[in-house]
Amino acid sequence: MNSNIVADFSRGVDGLLPAIAQDEANGEVLMMAWMNEEALQATLDEGYAVYYSRSRKSLWRKGDTSGHRQKVSQVRVDCDQDCILLKVNQIGAACHEGYRTCFFRKVDDDKQTLTIVEERLVDPNDVYGK
Amino acid sequence: MNSNIVADFSRGVDGLLPAIAQDEANGEVLMMAWMNEEALQATLDEGYAVYYSRSRKSLWRKGDTSGHRQKVSQVRVDCDQDCILLKVNQIGAACHEGYRTCFFRKVDDDKQTLTIVEERLVDPNDVYGK
């Protein structure tokens, strides 16, 4: 595999680095997930975002269930090569709760409560089954 | 502290969650760093980004050395409340290498090499000393 040349997985925890998906069209930060070396290589090879699911302990081809895949147009790495940024064309909703982005809530001025600041695009029950 | 209500630090590794700083003006993803509960609380209280430095094992008030602080206009959390997104007004360069963003390199089509795709804003030697 070549991906360890572009990212330094030895700097990750359990070999995992954070990967940020950004909508290339409007710059929205869609989500953050984890990648191991195999996930990055698969992303580069397949042209669609592939993450590593910490709960399932396996590669996670984003959109396999929902159809909400992320076509990757560019992969960037940060100065320390321990964080990955994907510029993507997001199909549908990035978030499993049906929002366009996972960051659909903001912290209120009281610093204690959250307010939803995005519209829900789809009903998760329609996407993932009831 | 109140910040554990808005983010779930029990989901982090060693109590640390990834925090993404995004330029509120143009949507650029500037950097990713880590926050513990104290760092998030300080960010909310002070209005400027405060991270946790894993190497120094202490709070890191971004810009203390460089002057390149990040004024925070909004804090968002993701669906699982285990990733934080800061919308910031970045003063100067976010990256310690003198670039506006830490993601100044893209992975080339050969999947093995990196190309710099941003202009350097400042000479790091001028900011951090030689």
Q: What pLDDT score does A128 carry?
A: 77
Q: Is residue B99 part of a domain?
A: no
In a domain, A32, yes or no: yes
Q: Chain B: which residues have CB within 8 Å of chain A?
A: 2-3, 5-6, 13, 18, 20, 22, 26-29, 31-32, 41, 44-45, 74-80, 83, 85, 95-97, 99, 102-107, 111-114, 117
What is the C-alpha separation between B57 and B49, in angstroms, rounded? 17
Look at residue B79 and tell me whether its pLDDT is greater than 60: yes
**Average pLDDT for residues B16-44, to the nearest whole number?**
97
Q: What angle is formed at CA B112 by the lines to CA A36 and CA A40, rounded to 5 degrees?
A: 20
Supply the pLDDT for residue B127.
80
Nearest by CB to A6, from B45, B80, B114: name it: B114
Structural domain contains residue A126: no
Number of domains composing chain B: 1
- Per-residue confidence (pLDDT) for residue A126, from 0 to 100: 86
B79 is in an annotated binding site: yes
Contact B83 A102 (CB under 8 A): yes
Q: What is the CATH number of the domain that holds A37?
A: 3.10.20.810
Is A102 flagged in the annotation as binding?
yes
Mean pLDDT for A47-67 is: 96
Helices (runs of H) and strands (runs of E) counted in chain A:
3, 8
Q: What is the DSSP letter of A65?
A: T
Residue B74 falls within a domain, yes or no?
Answer: yes
Domain assignment present for residue A18? The answer is yes
Inter-chain CB pairs, A–B, below 8 Å: 109
The model's pLDDT over A85-128, given as tens digits with 9 standing for 90+, comes to 999 999 999 999 999 999 999 999 999 999 999 999 999 988 87
Is B118 inside a domain boundary? no
In this structure, is residue A108 part of a structural domain? no
Interchain pair B107, A74: CB under 8 A: yes
Q: What residues make up the domain containing B90?
A: 3-94
C-alpha torsion angle, residues A36, A42, A45, A50 (rounded to 10): -100
Task: Note whether residue A101 is domain-resident.
Answer: no
State whether B111 and A29 contact (CB < 8 Å).
no
Q: Is B83 annotated as a binding residue?
A: no
pLDDT tens-digit readout, B110-125: 999 999 999 999 999 8
